[in-house]
């Protein structure tokens, strides 16, 4: 899995005429937490004057802070409901049905194949969250926020994936994972995520689509933030639909690529590579990267790329993957891992709160969906060392625009390999 993206709870601007109705309609139905416990778009109110935590004694020391703290409980308790409403809104095809038009509930129910009275209840919630506005005559129309879930493939595919029952059941087993150290997905389904992807076609398609759009959102930072010059043959190990590899092949015309993936993901790669105009320079290989990393007809690789791979697995499996990559390299080759690197204890001061939230939730997501976790630099050094690879001393090159992300460069752990990596890293910095 890739790191989830969180907006830190800030409200988006509605920006479309007619959204006032949605704004004024908020609070018509309150969640169980009582008035003001949760407002659309993640906004919380302190509640009416005199309510607990309402801050009615504004002049009292700490009253405002106490009100803000109490207000924040709304999102903590009911955030799951926001996600479920948004997921149902997208997965039922409401954004598509309202593309460029406004429809009454009965016609929208016909267009989406839904039960009209139940749909009206969902539409009321979607309006309260700012996804819809209600025109005179009861016609529903997308707001700018709602349009994003039609126009932005990344948001749309993430909403589809996080609305997937298999994902929701896994999050429901989070407590079990914390108790025994296992994967919540395995607790919920009796099998691991990646095994499930081999047998559940719809889940695999949504997973591959969502991860491809997340990679696309990070591709520019990876391509522009690190010098891939000097690499003749790059093997993208577990590279999904080839989004990142296609961008690298376009940016480096002399580069040849090999994409190694499971069959379901590999099937999505040809159109991505053709659209980028690089299909003739990329070999597609099915394989198990735990066992071996084949390199196709291009001979040993100058580099193996592992993006959003290692954080999916436990330490022993990571070492197996790294060893397989090392065996596929020519002498002096590199294993490149663009990764989220956890700050060491006490080392996160000065970063943006939203970035800290994204880091923490990404680590929790690994616990829910996989057997892996996010790691510190020291933990990555230990993994690479066990695989016979070495990271250069000092901080790895940061990837600008991606908070807490760095490019880890592992080379053969010999004296020569370590010196080569250190010298190369110094030049790239």
- Provide the annotated active-site residues: 311
3-state secondary structure (DSSP) of residue 161: helix
CB atoms within 10 A of CB 11: 13
CA–CA dist 47, 35 (Å, integer): 6
Eight-state DSSP code of residue 261: E
Phi, psi of 144 (to 5 degrees): -60, -40
- Give the helix ranges, DSSP H, for 254-389: 263-266, 269-276, 315-328, 353-369, 377-386
- In the block, tokens 């830190």 appear at 8
- Provide the residue count of the chain: 429
Note whether 250 and 315 are within 8 A (CB). Answer: no
Query: Side-chain half-sphere of 96: how many Cα atoms within 13 Å?
Result: 10
Buried b (16+ CB within 10 A) or exposed e, 345-360: eeeeeeeeeeebebbe
Query: Side-chain half-sphere of 81: how many Cα atoms within 13 Å?
Result: 20
Buried b (16+ CB within 10 A) or exposed e, 403-414: bbbbbbbbbbbe
């Amino acid at each position: 899995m890739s790191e989830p993206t969180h907006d830190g709870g800030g409200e988006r601007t509605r920006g479309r005429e007619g959204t006032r109705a949605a704004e004024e309609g908020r609070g018509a139905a309150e969640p169980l937490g009582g008035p003001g416990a949760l407002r659309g778009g993640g906004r919380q109110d302190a509640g009416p004057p005199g309510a607990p935590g309402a801050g009615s004694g504004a002049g009292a020391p700490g009253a405002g802070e106490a009100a803000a703290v109490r207000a924040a409980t709304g999102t903590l308790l009911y955030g799951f409901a926001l996600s479920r409403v948004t997921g149902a809104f997208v997965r039922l095809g409401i954004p598509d049905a309202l593309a460029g038009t406004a429809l009454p509930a009965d016609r929208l129910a016909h267009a989406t194949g839904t039960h009209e009275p139940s749909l009206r209840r969902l539409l009321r919630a979607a309006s309260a969250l700012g996804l819809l506005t209600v025109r005179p005559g009861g016609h529903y129309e997308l707001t700018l926020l709602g349009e994003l879930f039609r126009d932005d493939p990344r948001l749309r595919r993430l909403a589809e994936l996080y609305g997937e029952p298999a994902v929701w059941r896994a999050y429901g087993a989070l407590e079990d994972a914390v108790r025994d150290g296992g994967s919540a997905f395995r607790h919920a389904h009796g099998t691991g995520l990646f095994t499930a992807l081999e047998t559940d076609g719809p889940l695999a398609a949504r997973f591959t689509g969502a991860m491809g759009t997340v990679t696309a959102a990070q591709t520019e930072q990876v391509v522009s933030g690190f010098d891939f010059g000097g690499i003749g043959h790059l093997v993208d190990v577990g590279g999904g639909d080839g989004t990142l590899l296609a961008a690298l092949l376009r940016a480096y015309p002399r580069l040849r690529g090999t994409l190694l993936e499971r069959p379901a993901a590999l099937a999505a790669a040809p159109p991505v590579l053709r659209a980028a105009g690089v299909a003739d320079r990329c070999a597609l290989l099915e394989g198990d990267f735990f066992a071996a990393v084949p390199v196709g007809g291009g001979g040993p690789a100058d580099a193996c790329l592992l993006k959003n791979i290692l954080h999916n697995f436990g330490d022993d499996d990571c070492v197996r993957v790294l060893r397989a990559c090392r065996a596929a390299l020519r002498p002096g080759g590199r294993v490149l891992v663009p990764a989220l690197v956890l700050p060491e204890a006490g080392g996160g001061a000065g970063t943006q709160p939203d970035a800290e939230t994204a880091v923490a939730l990404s680590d929790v997501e690994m616990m829910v969906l996989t057997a892996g976790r996010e790691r510190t630099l020291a933990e990555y050094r230990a993994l690479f060392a066990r695989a016979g690879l070495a990271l250069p001393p000092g901080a790895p090159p940061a990837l600008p625009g991606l908070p807490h992300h760095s490019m880890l460069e592992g080379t053969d752990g010999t004296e020569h390999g370590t010196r080569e990596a250190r010298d190369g890293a110094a030049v790239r910095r």
